[in-house]
């Protein structure tokens, strides 16, 4: 009877630990995708930045150049991020939301809401909403 209780407790502890590890892996993968795209923008690497966009963004943009020019013109805090801080991640059934605090050009602070979508085993950026934010990074 004592052995059964030990096995049950051992299994319960695995169940409690597993989601945390999976969450950490998801956090890492999503953050790596966002950082990699921001690095691609910083290096003016259009193709690398395009590679991190979701299929929906690619269809909407139509081409690498259109996508890249849209980001340069409309998403300067992402295109020229001086610093970045990852805040909360909110999982949904078909996508995740990653909240990010950015310091953009001229030192302005921004809150970026990234829609992250699964593409096989990879995460892709399905959209970004920006809002000017107070605070420090």
Rounded mean pLDDT, 5-17 = 36
Burial class (CB in 10 A: 0-12, 13-18, 19+), 46: middle
Q: What are phi and psi of 82, to 5 degrees?
A: -90, -30
Q: Which pLDDT band holds residue 106 (cuts at 50, 70, 90)?
A: confident
Q: Cα dihedral sign for 105, 106, 107, 112?
A: negative
What local confidence, expressed as pLDDT, does residue 23 receive? Answer: 59
Q: What are phi and psi of 114, to 5 degrees?
A: -95, 130
pTM: 0.80
Nearest to 117 by CA among 73, 76, 59, 72: 59
| Higher-scoring residue by pLDDT: 33, 7 | 33
Residues making up the chain, counted from first to last: 137
For the stretch 111-128, pLDDT in tens is: 999 999 999 999 999 999
What local confidence, expressed as pLDDT, does residue 6 receive? Answer: 36
Q: Residues 31, 97: contact at Cβ < 8 Å?
A: no
For the stretch 40-60, pLDDT in tens is: 999 999 999 999 999 999 999
Q: Which pLDDT band holds residue 105 (cuts at 50, 70, 90)?
A: confident
What lies within 8 Å, CB to CB, of 100 at 6+ separation is 34, 84, 85, 86, 87, 111, 112, 113, 114
Rounded mean pLDDT, 72-90 = 95
Q: Which pLDDT band holds residue 63 (cuts at 50, 70, 90)?
A: very high
What local confidence, expressed as pLDDT, does residue 122 receive? Answer: 96
Burial class (CB in 10 A: 0-12, 13-18, 19+), 64: middle
What local confidence, expressed as pLDDT, does residue 109 receive? Answer: 95
């Amino acid at each position: 009877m004592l052995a059964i209780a030990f096995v049950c407790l051992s299994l319960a502890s695995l169940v409690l630990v597993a989601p945390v590890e999976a969450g950490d892996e998801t956090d890492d993968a999503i953050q790596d995708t966002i950082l990699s795209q921001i690095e691609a923008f910083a290096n003016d690497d259009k193709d690398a930045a395009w590679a991190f966009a979701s299929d929906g963004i690619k269809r909407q943009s139509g081409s690498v150049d259109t996508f890249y020019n849209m980001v340069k013109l409309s998403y300067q805090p992402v295109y020229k991020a001086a610093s970045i801080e990852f805040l909360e991640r909110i999982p949904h059934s078909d996508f995740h939301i990653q909240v990010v605090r950015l310091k953009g050009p001229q030192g302005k602070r921004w809150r970026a809401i990234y829609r992250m979508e699964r593409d096989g085993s990879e995460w892709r950026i399905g959209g970004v909403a920006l809002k000017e934010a107070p605070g420090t990074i």
